[in-house]
């Protein structure tokens, strides 16, 4: 089925990146869930993995609607990255997989709100709900990892070095005071 094409290089690039990066994240969470001993944490991380696969399918559906091809380069690159991270979870201990998962999710939140703005710039609003839901879900993932680490003695040090932690985030979404879908265009204005 052929769809309409869109002329927005930044949006096309972001969709292709998100599609492939979601695979890397899902692969990473397979290793992460396998490496943790706590059964509740295993279940939570497996659910996050399933969310990432769902995001990948949603992004692909949008890409197909506009005849946007999958980037073979990104697919190979992020496949390898995801597998390496997955394996590393078994050898780098408990803290770092949680920390870097939270940091990654924090950055991913804005990607979906930026996509929404790019679509809106083209007069397209039909994807607003799904992009909003994916952005909010990524924020929920970030909060899960942050709460898992909040009392860890290494967190302040990592936060100073890597810029994410108890007091720092790469997005301005507040789950306690969420904006509506329409108002969510105000999120992530610091990123274009």
192 residues of the chain, pLDDT tens digit each = 456 889 999 999 999 999 999 999 999 999 999 999 999 999 999 999 999 999 999 999 999 999 999 999 999 999 999 999 999 999 998 899 999 999 999 999 999 999 999 999 999 999 999 999 999 999 999 999 999 999 999 999 999 999 999 999 999 999 999 999 999 999 999 876
Q: Flag whether 125 is in a domain.
A: yes
Under 8 Å CB-to-CB from 96, ≥6 apart: which residues? none
pLDDT, position 1: 40
Cα gap 192→172, rounded to integer Å = 14
> Residue 21 is inside which H or E element, if any?
helix 9-35
Q: Flag whether 65 is in a domain.
A: yes
Q: Flag whether 179 is in a domain.
A: yes
pLDDT, position 124: 96
Cα gap 132→139, rounded to integer Å = 11
pLDDT, position 4: 81
pLDDT, position 192: 63
Q: Flag whether 106 is in a domain.
A: yes
Cα gap 85→111, rounded to integer Å = 21
Other CB atoms closer than 10 Å to residue 139's CB: what's the count? 23
On whether the CB atoms of residues 4 and 54 are closer than 8 A, the answer is no
- Domain hosting 61: range is 9-186
Rounded to 5°, the CA angle 49-10-100 comes to 35
pLDDT, position 3: 66
Cα gap 30→146, rounded to integer Å = 19
Q: Flag whether 158 is in a domain.
A: yes
Q: Flag whether 155 is in a domain.
A: yes
Q: Flag whether 2 is in a domain.
A: no
Closest CA to 150 of 98, 80, 114: 98
Query: Which CATH number does the domain housing residue 77 bear?
Result: 1.20.1260
Q: Flag whether 77 is in a domain.
A: yes
Number of separate domains in the chain = 1
């Amino acid at each position: 089925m052929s769809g309409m094409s869109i002329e927005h290089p930044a949006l096309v690039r972001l969709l292709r990146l998100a599609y492939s990066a979601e695979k890397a994240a899902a692969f990473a969470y397979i290793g992460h869930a396998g490496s943790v001993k706590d059964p509740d944490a295993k279940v939570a991380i497996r659910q996050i993995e399933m969310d990432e696969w769902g995001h990948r399918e949603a992004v692909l559906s949008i890409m197909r609607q506009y005849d946007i091809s999958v980037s073979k380069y990104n697919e190979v690159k992020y496949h390898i990255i995801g597998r390496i991270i997955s394996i590393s979870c078994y050898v780098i201990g408990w803290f770092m997989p949680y920390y870097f998962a939270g940091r990654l999710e924090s950055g991913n939140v804005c990607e979906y709100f930026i996509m929404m703005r790019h679509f809106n710039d083209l007069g397209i609003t039909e994807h607003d709900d799904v992009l909003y839901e994916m952005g909010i879900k990524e924020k929920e993932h970030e909060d899960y990892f942050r709460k898992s680490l909040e009392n860890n003695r290494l967190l302040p040090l990592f936060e100073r070095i890597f810029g994410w932690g108890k007091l720092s985030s790469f997005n301005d979404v507040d789950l306690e005071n969420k904006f509506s879908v329409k108002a969510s265009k105000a999120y992530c204005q610091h990123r274009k």
